[in-house]
Structure 1
């Protein structure tokens, strides 16, 4: 089967590899090179780097819907499938109509829940028990196409967004191969999404990362896990930003003000939330390194009795 692959970040790479191993990938589309780092040198996307290893033709339209030349190339290729994984652009109907079997998208949620940009993060922030991948037949809407296959992954209590990202990234590659084979041999039938059960996973921003200590310890811990590795939850200690990477929920708050630092030991920085205590395990101050509370307290001190803001 002839495939055109569209994707950009690391999340898409295992699926690209699986497509290369199992099918004929005729071309790869990815986002244009972007300036990175202090020198602002142009950097390739992770998908472009992988495609270069296999000498696959690469196209990088700024906006595919306005790129007549790339659109004509896609029609000349006449692929059986266009596979889309975190490409970063909405596809116009003209492109959706090109492949024989359609455009197949991998989305990192159990649709119709968590349509949109940040499904992995929001599933953790909202305390979901499960996440997963969905392959779907793309239409002109945002993650609204008919469902093809789904796979579930349990969200454990200590799982961060980074951990879940990595698990779904590997799982998604296998699911995509199953999906393409199942469509081609007629064993998979598309199922319409129930729009009444949908919810939107909006883009993340740094403003949402500020911790509200009047919330429950579990809600705060979910936020910490859901925003690790980016943008990272933070609080203010004596006016300074303190990023928090990992924490544990402890026993019941015995009447302390939410945000109060109750104890600072190598086992954790214990802070009162509205219902329970939270033990901060990993943190980072401005111009400092991310480190465990034990390492931090070896060369620094944190004052008990301070209220975090």
Structure 2
């Protein structure tokens, strides 16, 4: 018999899992997502989350409570009489009474190889730290921060060409498939859990805009991974001298390049920039107030000769 599930998720990353659960015949009693936020051209219209939009298209009831701690929220959650809850980037803490409500438990899809990168920004932090591998894991949730027992995992290599957007787009369908397999095993009573190790624990703190400025004094590989880990949002940035105020440039994609020089100095006509050790070549960037573009197009409108310097 298919499971009766509650799905809890908010961003694009969670949508493939919702679709796969529906496609595999599970009964979705309800979808929980974060409340709509103001958006649109003028910032006045309430914009439902990607998960809410998809759930409504599928005809699944959607709830957007501001808290799960109230007794009314718990009663409503219990009333769904779900076998289990599936949680993917929901963005709210689940208190113990909520975790206890489904008879088979609550299962979270997390975008790292736990216990490395527990927390809010595992995709970004894995790239920024220079990791060569990451993955997705299904765990049975407890009240800790990503500390639950592990059910299943899939691994994925991180290359120096990957941005956070690239890795996000690779892990989302991988995670959807993994969660479907986990729910199939749960349905058969065959899902095995392994206690999570406390060795090698790291925390993926939320990305702060203050850490987005590029430090050209770091080695080229660290600069490249910093750029890719913050692409497209919030976007790693540097400044160029302008006619008055400096011009802020977000650098969104690059590659390692040959050459050396003073940190932040443009080395050639193809936008190679010197780092503390080595250099990177900028491939895509965005001038403040403008759209994203290839570096060759940027240089047509704002030529930068060797010797120009990013700060």
Shorter-chain TM-score: what band? over 0.9
- What residue number does 1:60 align with? 64
The SS at the match of 1:174 is: helix
- What residue number does 2:129 align with? 126
TM-score where L is the length of structure 2: 0.94
Distance in 1 (CA, whole Å) between partners of 2:73 and 2:56 is 18
- What residue number does 2:298 align with? 296
Distance in 1 (CA, whole Å) between partners of 2:184 and 2:97 is 24
Moved more, 187-196 or 135-144: 187-196
TM-superposition CA deviations, 1:264-291 (whole Å, max 9, x none): x2xx301111111211122222222221
Contact 1:59 1:70 in 2 (8 A): no
The SS at the match of 1:63 is: coil
- What residue number does 2:255 align with? 248
Q: List alignment gaps of at least 5 residues for structure 1.
A: none
Map 1:1-309; keep pairs closer than 5 Å: 1-22=3-24, 23-37=26-40, 38-66=42-70, 68-238=71-241, 239-253=246-260, 256-263=261-268, 265=269, 268-309=270-311
Contact 2:140 2:150 in 1 (8 A): yes
Moved more, 89-98 or 38-47: 38-47
The SS at the match of 1:194 is: coil
TM-score where L is the length of structure 1: 0.95
Contact 2:67 2:73 in 1 (8 A): no
Q: List alignment gaps of at least 5 residues for structure 2.
A: none
TM-superposition CA deviations, 1:10-37 (whole Å, max 9, x none): 1111111111122011111111111013
The SS at the match of 1:172 is: helix
Q: What is the CA RMSD across the aligned residues, in angstroms? A: 1.3
Distance in 2 (CA, whole Å) between partners of 1:39 and 1:188 is 45
Distance in 2 (CA, whole Å) between partners of 1:27 and 1:282 is 41
Aligned residues: 303
Distance in 2 (CA, whole Å) between partners of 1:252 and 1:303 is 15
Distance in 1 (CA, whole Å) between partners of 2:29 and 2:88 is 16
Distance in 1 (CA, whole Å) between partners of 2:171 and 2:182 is 16
Per the TM alignment, residue 252 of structure 1 is displaced from its structure 2 partner at its CA by 4.8
Contact 2:259 2:267 in 1 (8 A): no
